[in-house]
């Protein structure tokens, strides 16, 4: 067996645990991590796809740097960051296998490569928020009215079902492999 990369060597020469050694054999922790990383990836993808579709649909209405555009861009940027970060982590968690050190090491390296991009998304989101915050607050005070939080309830319900299914699947996978 030729383990060319350092990460593959670390997996090959480390303790032959079922999940990553850093879990210290706590199966419930693996379940929680697996489920939450997968849920976050799926929900992040849902939000990105929905908001990108909305942005395309209303591209004439919401012009460059209008409040609605900024608000939607914030959502897209943060959701992209969450999706990339948690997706890479979910890849390493799902793909870890001490019997296949080359793939496990590659996933770990892929995660390292993707993390800076995720942080870039997070920081640009923060930057956009900070830049737009004074003007946005001013804008939002002009006509005070309560926001109907339950307009998005169908989408939230879908996310909750997906999260529940993911949790069940994570428990099943961890307790049987």
Partner 1 sequence: MAAILPVAAAAMAQKGATIATSSPVIWHFLGYPFEVAGMIAAVFACGAARWWIGAAQSLRREHRWSLDIPVSGIAIAFSVAIVISQRPEPLSGLLYGAGLGMLGEGIFKIAENYLKKAGTVFGIDTDKPGE
Q: Nearer to partner 1 by C-beta: 45 or 126?
A: 45
How many of the other CB atoms lie within 10 Å of CB of 156? 13
Range 113-122, long-range pairs (CB < 8 A, 24+ positions): 114/84, 114/85, 114/87, 114/88, 115/85, 115/88, 117/84, 118/80, 118/81, 118/82, 118/84, 118/85, 118/88, 119/81, 119/85, 120/81, 121/77, 121/78, 121/80, 121/81, 121/84, 122/77, 122/78, 122/81
How many residues belong to the site for partner 1 (CB under 8 A)? 36
Q: Of 2, 4, 22, 176, which lies in the binding site for partner 1, with binding defined by CB under 8 A?
A: 176
- Please list every residue from 64 through 93 that binds partner 1, using CB under 8 A: 91
Query: Shortest approach of partner 1 to residue 79 CB, angstroms?
Result: 15
Q: Nearer to partner 1 by C-beta: 131 or 168?
A: 168
Q: Nearer to partner 1 by C-beta: 45 or 136?
A: 45
Q: Is the Cα dihedral 46, 49, 52, 54 positive or negative?
A: negative
Query: Shortest approach of partner 1 to residue 10 CB, angstroms?
Result: 16
Mask for 27-66, x = binds partner 1 (CB under 8 A): xx-xx----------x---x--------------------
Q: Is 172 in the site for partner 1 (CB under 8 A)?
A: yes
Q: Nearer to partner 1 by C-beta: 50 or 72?
A: 50
Q: Is 24 in the site for partner 1 (CB under 8 A)?
A: yes
The secondary structure element, H or E, covering residue 93 is helix 67-95
Q: CA 82 to CA 87: how far, in whole Å?
A: 8
Q: Is 15 helix (H, G, I), strand (E, B) or coil?
A: coil
Query: Which residues of the shown chain bind partner 1 in the complex (CB under 8 A)?
Result: 15-19, 24-28, 30-31, 42, 46, 91, 94-95, 97-100, 154, 158, 161-162, 165-166, 168-169, 171-177
């Amino acid at each position: 067996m030729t383990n060319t990369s350092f990460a593959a060597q670390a997996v090959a020469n480390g303790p032959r645990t079922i999940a990553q050694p850093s879990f210290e054999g706590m199966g419930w922790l693996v379940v929680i991590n697996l489920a939450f990383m997968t849920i976050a990836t799926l929900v992040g993808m849902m939000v990105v796809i929905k908001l990108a579709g909305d942005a395309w649909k209303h591209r004439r209405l919401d012009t460059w740097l209008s409040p609605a555009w900024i608000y939607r861009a914030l959502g897209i940027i943060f959701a992209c960051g969450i999706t990339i970060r948690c997706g890479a982590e979910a890849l390493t968690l799902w793909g870890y296998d001490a019997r296949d050190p080359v793939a496990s090491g590659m996933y770990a390296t892929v995660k390292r490569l993707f993390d800076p991009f995720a942080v870039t998304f997070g920081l640009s989101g923060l930057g956009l928020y900070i830049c737009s915050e004074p003007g946005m607050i001013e804008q939002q005070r002009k006509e005070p009215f309560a926001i109907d939080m339950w307009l998005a309830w169908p989408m939230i319900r879908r996310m909750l079902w997906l999260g529940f299914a993911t949790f069940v699947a994570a428990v099943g996978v961890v307790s049987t492999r």
